[in-house]
Structure 1
Amino acid sequence: MGRDFLENKVELLFIVSVAPGLALVWWYYHKDRLEPEPLGMVVRSFVFGALFVFPAALLEIFTSYLVVLGPLVYQIMGVALVEEYMKWLALKRFIDHKACDECYDGIVYGTSVALGFATLENLFYVFGALNPFLVAGWRAFLSVPLHGLCGLFMGYEAARQKLGGAVTYSLFRILFLPVLVHGLFNYFLFLSSGIGVLMAVALVVVFWLKSMSVIKRSWSCKV
């Protein structure tokens, strides 16, 4: 009975770890009002994003020394910049693909890559936690959606540049907002205080509301 309980617990933890990312990918995919992307490419972008967790984790070993510059600088430059740049490396091949011919396509691929990254990262956090169900719960409502929103803005801006005829991508415009918001979110949680958590929640809510207007603009592909 004890073994069965342990197996059921592991299965449940796995489900609650991957469900938020998959649910959000499904939601963003079905918001495509124009021409839905090939499902196989969306799946590949999700898996590709997940794989980039490993080089990000390796690079963060070296950027951990930035903590001497202060927690805010470290969270923005040592964590957020690393992770968002890794997501961009995973995303670029899908933005460059001929199938990405609408601004909302960039959102589909951007969120899929980011949520693939977030889902694998989520598994590591949840299974490594002392209270895994608590961690799975707050990450489902905060961290995973935050990653998806960063991918949304990144993908939209990259697709907008591509369809606007840009010869080369402006990485500053693609990465600035995702890195800043991701870094601030991490910093607020780092404060380990009630006000810090409230600020992190408020940041996600504001970012989510802002994303709704970006989605609407993407349907008409305004550049």
Structure 2
Amino acid sequence: MSVCLIVAVAPSALILWWILVRDRADPEPPGLVWGTVGLGALSSVWAVGLELLADKLGPGMADAAGEGMPLGSALVAATFVGLAEESGKLLAVLALPFRRREFNQIFDGVLYCVAASLGFATLENILYVGMSGLTDGPFGIALTGTMRAVTAVPGHAGFGILMGLWVGAAKMVPRKRTRFLLTGFGVATAAHALYDAVLFTGTWTGILIVPILAIVVTWSLIGIRHVQQRDLAYARSFWAWRRRVDEAAEAMRLAPAPEGRHLSDQ
């Protein structure tokens, strides 16, 4: 059991660590980060509920993996899954960190959306790896854990980054908040749906998962680099302004009072 947990949790832990060490401008409180991870895991209840509802409306839509569905049907099913899972992650971020004053830069959107996504991915990974261990023993744990460590877990993190770039912008630009939140949700859902669709076909098209993941990871890295540079530039300008204000205040405090101001001394 301990080996199963390590195999299931390690990929998410490594990715979250990689994100956290890049939060240099104004690091986030650990409690808030882990709280978001927990809410992300709980969002799986929301996602499963929506997927079950979708399955009631159209049997098979939410349970398509490995059934060799035609690409068109797979896209429909994957869109339902993407909507359910990404909406749960977004709600987790909006429910906790988005409301807090510590969320004060664009990169925070990336960090918290990734935290929620990895909370979801970790719980999902524990279930998949655990079931493989029960049916195929150590070989199943190793195979499923390795495959998901290089596909599903980075995929969830990448979708979180794509959404987080827009969520961070939404927090910083209140007048465009709704537009940015919907854009981030739409981008993450579309990427997630495309990823799942090629898996749901159960055919040779599954090889397309490689370029899809490559594109998601590339855009995520580009987005992170751009946002980091922007946040650091803003932080430097802010602290430079504060330093000038403090220096001016100190100069005024030390300056001698003008003649005639202290009438009681005359």
TM-score by length of 2: 0.75
Task: Give the number of aligned pairs.
Answer: 211
Which runs of no fewer than 5 residues in structure 2 stay unpaired?
A: 62-71, 234-266
Match of 1:62 among 40, 45, 53: 53
Deviation of 1:59 after TM superposition, in Å, equals 1.9
Q: Check conservation: 1:162, 1:169, Cα contact below 8 A.
A: no
10-19 vs 56-65, greater mean Cα deviation = 56-65
- Could you state the TM-score of these two structures normalised by the residue count of structure 1? 0.88
Partner of 1:7: none
Q: Which one-letter code corresponds to 1:186 in the other structure?
A: D
- From 180, 185, 192, the equivalent of 2:202 is 192
Assess if the C-alpha contact under 8 Å between 2:159 and 2:192 holds in 1: yes
Identity fraction in percent: 29
* Cross-structure match for 1:166: 175
Is the partner of 2:175 in helix, strand or coil?
A: coil
Give yes or no for contact 2:162–2:188 (8 Å, CA) kept in 1.
yes
Q: 1:125 to 1:210 in 2, by over 3 A?
A: same
Asked if residue 112 in structure 1 is aligned to residue 115 in structure 2, the reply is: yes
The corresponding residue for 1:134 is: 143
Q: Which runs of 5+ in 1 are unaligned?
A: 1-9
Residue in 2 aligned with 1:152? 161
**Matches of 1:148 and 1:115 in 2, distance apart?**
6
Cα-to-partner distance string for 1:19-76 (whole Å, 9 max, x where unaligned): 1111111110111121111111111111111111122112211112444682211111
**Is the 2:74–2:198 Cα contact (8 Å) retained in structure 1?**
no
Q: Deviations over 1:66-90 (max 9, x none)?
A: 44682211111x2010000010100
Deviates more, 1:82-91 or 1:29-38: 29-38
> What SS class does the counterpart of residue 151 from structure 2 fall into?
helix
Letter in structure 2 aligned against 1:200 = I
Please give the alpha-carbon distance, in whole angstroms, between the structure 2 residues aligned to 1:74 and 1:126.
Answer: 23
Q: Quick one: which of 103, 115, 139 aligns to 2:106? A: 103
Secondary structure of 1:169's counterpart equals: helix
Tell me the CA shift for residue 167 of structure 1: 6.1
- Shift of residue 193, structure 1, vs aligned partner: 3.0
Q: Which residue of 2 aligns with 1:73?
A: 76
